[in-house]
Amino acid sequence: MESKESYACPLNQYLMAQALGLSAIHVNRVLRQLRDAGLATIRDEQVTFDNYERLVEFADFVLT
């Protein structure tokens, strides 16, 4: 990961869905939920963490 603020992501929603084994509709809904919650946005092949600390808490992520 480049930083706690953003990183380059050259994948569109369809490619993300294929890589994750999910439908593009489901990926779209999850990304919309993240955006609406003020946690993260994806625009122009750039993922931006709008609130990194809340996103980590939301995802129950532990960096070890």
Per-residue pLDDT of the chain (64 residues; tens, 9 = 90+): 557 899 999 999 999 999 999 999 999 999 999 999 999 999 999 999 999 999 999 999 887 7
Partners of 8 in the β-ladder: 46
This prediction's pTM: 0.80
Q: What is the DSSP string of 2-28?
A: --SSEEE----HHHHHHHHT--HHHHH
In the numeric block, the tokens 């380059």 are attached to 8
Nearest by Cα to 53 from 61, 64, 41, 45: 61
CATH numbers and ranges of domains, the chain: 6-59 (1.10.10.10)
- What gap in Å lies between CA 31 and CA 9, rounded to an integer? 14
